[in-house]
Chain A
Amino acid sequence: MKLTKLLKVALASVWSNKMRSFLTMLGIIIGISSVIVLVGMGEGTKKQISDQIEKLGTNLITVSITGNRTAAVTDEELKELKTKPGIKEIAPTLTQGNVNIKAGDKSDTTNLEASTPNYAEIRKIGVISGRFISQRDIDNRFKVAVIGTETATNIFSTTNVVGRTMYVNGIEFTIIGVLESQGSSAAGSSDDRIIIPLSTAQRLLKTTNIKTFYIEATSKDKVSEAMSYLQLFLNKKYKNDTRSYRVFDQTSLLETANATNESMTAMLGGIAAISLLVGGIGIMNIMLVSVVERTREIGIRKAIGAKRGIILLQFLIEAASISSLGGIIGVALGFLGAYGAEKFFKMTIVISNNIVLGAVLFSILVGIVFGIYPANKASKLNPIDALRFE
């Protein structure tokens, strides 16, 4: 008996019990669609985070000196560090959260960052109008600021603010540029900030201690080389006390984020897989009922010459077609759910072809695995017992 014929017989049987087949499929449909949506959400979050990290530059190394009593890094030390192989640029940075800014009668609080001109290149920041901080601003301690688009809108109601003035902690600053929008991340909006010259900030914040600096490696591949020289420097300066500083490079940050996300995705997938298991048990249950109901049919088929294998295959194909049909409907529903989540909840959902293929294959597998027991039971029926069955 040909496989196509068997498939036709199985599908006809599924179709002739539409309602029951649908209810049986429901477990698989819910399982597969939730796998698609949940894993898609996980993947979407992963993509979002890695996009953000990559936007910041993958050859970026961030160094933070921790502890109030820890000695700060001096300009001379940074200059020397910059000459090491693999290190292209170093930008010492000061940051201060919650600074007050005021323009006209509007005021707000924002994050203040202070650095050197190379900060723009290292942190991949561009300006949409005006200019970034220059060496002249540093040398002369000019009270100038580059402003994020959101901050500009908050206090000026426009982003066309180059040349206007505002007050930062009561001191007047001239706006020289507006930053390119970078969107928001888990840490908050990167468009709500102002950047001023490092030297100006040192006076404003009354500190010369550089506790944070950014290093740009010459390329992505040179990150590890730059890291090793940095490590040497830090070991020497802090006498191997690793609690005095923290170093992040974007690649490891990316890896950490990915690992977190992957375990999250695996967890979501696992929960959805449980529902698939339940769906599979549902199929087994219904197939067992079906075998009993169709005992006579099995007897007739055997009497006219169906071998065990054919009966086994017939029931197995039936179970597999219920589950794979459920899988296909589940995938369609999953896409629909993903579309809805993107549209109405503004989520990023990434559905890869692999997960779709995997889901469909898995649903077929569920049908086969849970169909084996009932199919085997059907195939082992004794023809006379089956024919006598009323």
Chain B
Amino acid sequence: MGQHKNEVINMKNISKVYNMGSNDFVALEDVNLSINKGEYVAIVGPSGAGKSTLMNIIGCLDTPTNGEYTLDGLNTKCSDSKLAEIRNCKIGFIFQNYNLLPKLNVLENVELPLLYLGLGSKKVREQALEALKRVGLETHLKHKPTELSGGQKQRVAIARALVTKPQIILADEPTGALDSKTGREVLDMIKELNKEGNTIVMITHDKEIAAEANRIITVKDGRITSDSWKEGEVAYEAD
């Protein structure tokens, strides 16, 4: 019961089928998944296994063909604008290629989700500054993304993901475009965020990086093939 109360993500029989001309392509089949508050989960699997599709559905960027997905107690079968709201305040995205808006400066990039949330400009500024301080970039407020290094860009993206205090932070190959040293820094930062109580879901194809997480979910051919906690204890094994 207590565990249920802490549940952030609950997926029941989720499947995703893409219509490709005459034949359908099954990207996800019958996925059941439960993630609790404060977990650090890595989703691994070879490319084409369906982990990106899973991530898109978790992030409410895409909707499942079948099944039920409940995020923080909210059913995600809802209108486009409701989904936008969920993405805005429940999910923080960290992308492999940062996805910062090139024409906005660092501060404006981080402020944007708060503006979409509809906060007043004073509060927006305050919270954005706080998030940027958290990632150690309060000195680069007026810089454009193109003037930053890869590591700095990813830290801006982390600040943007954090700024609305979301339920989960979704990281899609967050170190994929970084060298190992800056990648390490970013991973450390994510780990720290997790220690502060944030729920992290990270997609990666790198076993080593996945080892950072406390729980590793393996996806293969659209199905979850293994789900293990760091301690080595296998909690769930799909057939």
Residues of A within 8 A of B (CB): 1-2, 5, 12-13, 16, 296-297, 299-310, 383-384, 387
**Complex Cα distance A150/B117, Å?**
78
Cβ of B93 under 8 Å from chain A:
yes
A-B interface, 9 closest residue pairs, ranked by CB to CB distance from nearest: A305-B88, A307-B84, A305-B116, A304-B113, A307-B81, A384-B61, A300-B99, A383-B61, A1-B115
Q: Closest CB-CB distance, A298 to chain B, in whole Å?
A: 10
Q: Which of B81, B112, B118 contacts A304 (CB 8 A)?
A: B112
Report yes or no: B160 in contact with A304, Cβ–Cβ below 8 A: yes
Report yes or no: A305 in contact with B84, Cβ–Cβ below 8 A: yes
**Complex Cα distance A12/B103, Å?**
9
**Complex Cα distance A16/B164, Å?**
28
Q: Closest CB-CB distance, A254 to chain B, in whole Å?
A: 58
Residues of B within 8 A of A (CB): 56, 59, 61-62, 80-81, 84-85, 87-89, 93, 95, 99-101, 103, 112-113, 115-118, 121, 160, 164
Report yes or no: B62 in contact with A307, Cβ–Cβ below 8 A: no
Report yes or no: A310 in contact with B59, Cβ–Cβ below 8 A: no
**Complex Cα distance A308/B79, Å?**
11
Report yes or no: A384 in contact with B84, Cβ–Cβ below 8 A: no
Q: Closest CB-CB distance, B20 to chain A, in whole Å?
A: 14
Q: Closest CB-CB distance, B190 to chain A, in whole Å?
A: 18
**Complex Cα distance A299/B59, Å?**
13
21 A-B residue pairs with CB within 8 Å: A2-B121, A5-B121, A300-B99, A301-B116, A302-B87, A303-B87, A303-B93, A304-B87, A304-B88, A304-B112, A304-B113, A305-B89, A305-B113, A305-B117, A306-B88, A306-B116, A308-B84, A309-B81, A383-B87, A387-B61, A387-B95
Report yes or no: A307 in contact with B99, Cβ–Cβ below 8 A: no
The interface residues of chain B, by DSSP majority, are classed as helix
Residues of A within 8 A of B61 (CB): 303, 383-384, 387
Report yes or no: A297 in contact with B113, Cβ–Cβ below 8 A: no
Report yes or no: B103 in contact with A307, Cβ–Cβ below 8 A: no
**Complex Cα distance A1/B88, Å?**
13
**Complex Cα distance A287/B179, Å?**
38
Report yes or no: B99 in contact with A1, Cβ–Cβ below 8 A: no
Q: Which of B84, B85, B101 has the most CB of A within 10 A?
A: B84
Residues of B within 8 A of A302 (CB): 84, 87
**Complex Cα distance A16/B102, Å?**
11
Which residue of B is nearest A299, CB measured?
B99
**Complex Cα distance A296/B145, Å?**
15
Report yes or no: B81 in contact with A308, Cβ–Cβ below 8 A: yes
Residues of B within 8 A of A300 (CB): 99-101
**Complex Cα distance A300/B118, Å?**
18
**Complex Cα distance A159/B2, Å?**
113
**Complex Cα distance A384/B81, Å?**
15
Report yes or no: B116 in contact with A307, Cβ–Cβ below 8 A: yes
**Complex Cα distance A188/B219, Å?**
95
Q: Closest CB-CB distance, A2 to chain B, in whole Å?
A: 8
Known contacts A5-B115, A304-B113, A305-B116; can you find 19 more A-B pairs with CB under 8 A?
Answer: A1-B115, A2-B115, A12-B103, A16-B103, A301-B101, A301-B112, A301-B116, A303-B93, A304-B112, A305-B85, A305-B88, A305-B89, A305-B117, A306-B88, A307-B81, A308-B80, A308-B81, A384-B61, A387-B95
Q: Closest CB-CB distance, A382 to chain B, in whole Å?
A: 8
Which residue of A is nearest B84, CB measured?
A307
Residues of B within 8 A of A301 (CB): 101, 112, 116
**Complex Cα distance A304/B59, Å?**
10
Report yes or no: B99 in contact with A387, Cβ–Cβ below 8 A: yes
Residues of B within 8 A of A310 (CB): 116
Which residue of B is nearest A296, CB measured?
B99
Which residue of A is nearest B103, CB measured?
A16
Q: Which of A303, A309, A387 has the most CB of B within 10 A?
A: A303
Q: Which of B61, B85, B95 has the most CB of A within 10 A?
A: B61
Report yes or no: A1 in contact with B118, Cβ–Cβ below 8 A: yes
Which residue of A is nearest B172, CB measured?
A387
Residues of A within 8 A of B101 (CB): 297, 300-301
Report yes or no: A305 in contact with B62, Cβ–Cβ below 8 A: no
Q: Closest CB-CB distance, A300 to chain B, in whole Å?
A: 5
Which residue of B is nearest A304, CB measured?
B113
Report yes or no: B99 in contact with A384, Cβ–Cβ below 8 A: no
Q: Closest CB-CB distance, A69 to chain B, in whole Å?
A: 86
Residues of A within 8 A of B115 (CB): 1-2, 5
Residues of B within 8 A of A308 (CB): 80-81, 84
**Complex Cα distance A93/B103, Å?**
80
Q: Closest CB-CB distance, B165 to chain A, in whole Å?
A: 13
Q: Which of B89, B103, B113, B117 has the most CB of A within 10 A?
A: B103
Report yes or no: B116 in contact with A304, Cβ–Cβ below 8 A: yes
Residues of B within 8 A of A383 (CB): 61, 87
Residues of A within 8 A of B113 (CB): 304-305
Q: Closest CB-CB distance, A147 to chain B, in whole Å?
A: 76
**Complex Cα distance A13/B104, Å?**
10
Q: Which of B62, B84, B99, B160 contacts A306 (CB 8 A)?
A: B84
Report yes or no: A305 in contact with B99, Cβ–Cβ below 8 A: no
**Complex Cα distance A78/B131, Å?**
99
